[in-house]
Structure 1
Amino acid sequence: MDDKRIIRRIKIIIIVFIVFLTLSGITAFPIETELQILNENGSIFPDFIAKWLADVYLAVKDTNTKFPFLSYGTDWLAFAHLVIAVAFIGPLKNPVKNIWVIEFGIIACLMVIPLALIAGVIRGIPFYWRLIDCSFGILGLIPLIWCYKLIKKLEVNSKPN
């Protein structure tokens, strides 16, 4: 595969990753509204998930009514996703020079798993929901590892003989 094709693939992977990371961040802002919509359509979920979503919605709604400032924490979560997405512009511009951002992303995705499994127990999150949270880390790993390998290939190709 020639360098132009490798660079094109790298850019596509990174752009898709940025888009999904951005969407993940943006969806953290209107969490109460999203949960309300999910609960209005609860019949599409198995009963145990519908019940969990209903409990989460009531907790978020009640908290937002009594203590709206606590949602500021999810605003910062959303903001962090957006800031991290911006960091991926570096490897979009120069993949070889900025491979460290891809490595950072891989490490972050790996860290999702112990966070979900440990903090989830402490916070009383059902096991199946912790597995859903872990899946975000695993799904993020797939494009990042692919991108990492392509960048390494590009790096080898660009070294003088």
Structure 2
Amino acid sequence: MQPTPTQLKKKIKRWLIFLMAGLVLSGITAFPIESELAITMNNLNIFTPKMQHWLNTIYTAVKTTNAQYPYLSYGTDWLAFAHIVIAIAFIGPLRDPVRNIWVLQFGMIACVLIFPLAFIAGPIRHIPLFWQLVDCSFGVIGIIPLYIACRYTYQLEYITNNSHL
């Protein structure tokens, strides 16, 4: 049995709201990085020794930088803001997925582009491979709801365009 346009729109909406919530959440958590790392430092024993070393290095760098050059964190604030703005871009497909399918396609392209960024900039910036893989996981996690929403949108377009037959 073929789903109705209403059912497809609901499914698309659910997947996009999941994606948007993830983008907003990851954006918001980029603001208080030093505070989050301080909490992490109090719970280092839950991590592997390699991860403990990495987190300690990151915390020291962030704390020192914020103490001496707080304006550099403004870049992280813009990163957080960008996540929130990107989430807002998905309001178009929420309202009219067929007309705004290009936003879903753009999102999938962005998810794929995380990989070359992580694997090119990561070594240049001395980011350990395991953390590059964590960064790549955002692309994997992001592309899943986008791909599913895109598939449902193609079905919706087909049903809508052929409803008169």
TM over 0.5: same fold?
yes
Please, which of 9, 12, 19 is the counterpart of residue 11 of structure 2?
9
Partner residue, 1:134: 136
Deviation at 1:2, TM superposition (A): 1.6
CA distance in 2, matches of 1:113, 1:39: 28
CA apart distance, 1:19: 0.5
* Sequence identity (%): 52
2:47 maps to 1:60: no
**Alignment coverage as a number of residue pairs:** 161
Residue 5 of structure 1 deviates from its aligned partner by 1.1
The residue number in structure 2 matching 1:31 is 33
- Are 1:108 and 2:102 matched, yes or no? no
Higher relative contact order (CA 8 A, sep 6+): 2
Consecutive unaligned residues in structure 1, runs of 5 or more: none
How much does 1:3 deviate?
A: 1.4
TM-score between both structures, scaled by the size of structure 1: 0.98
Q: Deviations over 1:122-157 (max 9, x none)?
A: 000001110111111111111111111000000000
Q: Residue 118 of structure 1 corresponds to which residue in structure 2?
A: 120
Which of 24, 42, 53 pairs up with 1:22?
24
Equivalence for 1:74: 76
Query: Counterpart amino acid of 2:48?
Result: P
2-structure distance, mates of 1:99, 1:39: 43
Q: Distance in 2 between matches of 1:147 and 1:28?
A: 27
Matched AA of 1:61: K
Partner of 1:46: 48
- Give the drift of 1:50: 1.2
Counterpart of 1:98 (choices 87, 97, 100) is 100
CA RMSD of aligned residues (A): 0.7
Query: Aligned equivalents of 2:42 and 2:145: distance in 1?
Result: 34
Shift of 1:51: 1.1
Displacement of 1:119 in angstroms is 0.3
Q: Which runs of 4+ in 1 moved over 6 A?
A: none
TM-score of the pair, normalised by structure 2: 0.96
- Deviation per CA, 1:88-113: give whole Å up to 9, x if none: 00000000001111011001101111
Code of the residue aligned with 1:47 in structure 2: it is P
Q: Which amino acid aligns with 1:19?
A: A
Secondary structure of the residue that 1:25 maps to in structure 2?
A: helix
Q: Deviation string for 1:59-85 (max 9, x for gaps)?
A: 000000000000000000000001000
Taking the aligned partners of 2:116 and 2:161, their CA distance within structure 1 comes to 38
